[in-house]
Amino acid sequence: MENKSVVKLSPPAINAPMQTRIPKHLALKWVPKENEDSELPPHVEVFLTQNAYIRMCAHAGSDLYNEVGGWMAGKYCQDQLNGNQFVVIDTILPALYTNQGAAHLTFTGDTQVALYDHLESAYPGKLLVGWYHTHPRMGIFFSHWDAWLHQNFFPHPWQVALVIEPYTSTGGFFIRQTDGSLHTQHYFGFYELTNRRKRSVVFWRNLQPIRDTGDFNKEVLTL
């Protein structure tokens, strides 16, 4: 029986990751200057397009007093050779229907339903990879509330969260570890997809670029 008014609160079931090559040779790796991430292997590596980065930074900088946020969409992939999993974030959807306030950002069932509808119609084939929000003058960490939201609205192990501090120009990703746990004080960097020719656009002061081409492959990936 057809029923289009069914409310979808839980995320759509996700199939296996897309099999491709990890595009490390097209990216610049940014790592935290202070908390080394070598001891805590993340479930997925995060690849971020420059457009997506700029879009989130512009949104984050639009309000230095209240939290703002939104969603990140793209692909969930697995490297064909070494099996490492990664996500590619190339689409940013700023949240419009949140209760903004200095205390915290709220995602409601309504905003989540609106999001899945919009994602399906405007970006068919893209997955909800995670969410981002700002912590003006508060620093980069995951609050209890953030952890609750993440667990309830982004339950897949490969879904990630980005916290941006627009006042001090810092930011970091919160990514589950391979055992499914998430460290609320430990953030990760990401891979900036530069497509070789472009210059970096990353300006966060808490991250530094390192060279990490992984197992180099001359085949050019279309992302």
At closest approach, how far in Å is the CB of 18 from Zn ion?
Answer: 30
Are 98 and 38 within 8 A, CB to CB?
Answer: no
DSSP class per residue in 10-48:
SPPP--SPEEE---GGGEEEEEESSS--SSS-BSSEEEE
For residues 1 and 116, what is the distance between their CA atoms, to the nearest angstrom? 21
Q: Which two tokens stand for residue 147?
A: 């952890």
Q: What angle do CA 211, 73, 67 make, to 5 degrees?
A: 90
Output 146 or 192, the one with its CB closest to Zn ion.
146
Task: Single out the residue of 45, 90, 146, 192 in contact with Zn ion (rule: CB under 5 A).
Answer: 146
Q: How far is the CB of 141 from Zn ion (least distance, A)?
A: 8
Residue of closest CB approach to Zn ion: 146
Least distance (Å) from Zn ion to the CB of residue 196?
35
Residues binding Zn ion: number (CB under 5 A): 2
- Between residues 86 and 204, which has the closer beta carbon with respect to Zn ion? 204
Q: Which is nearer to Zn ion, 21 or 150 (CB)?
A: 150
How far is it, in rounded angstroms, from Cα 68 to Cα 135?
Answer: 8
When asked if residue 165 is in the footprint of Zn ion (CB under 5 A), the reply is: no
Positions that interact with Zn ion (CB under 5 A): 143, 146
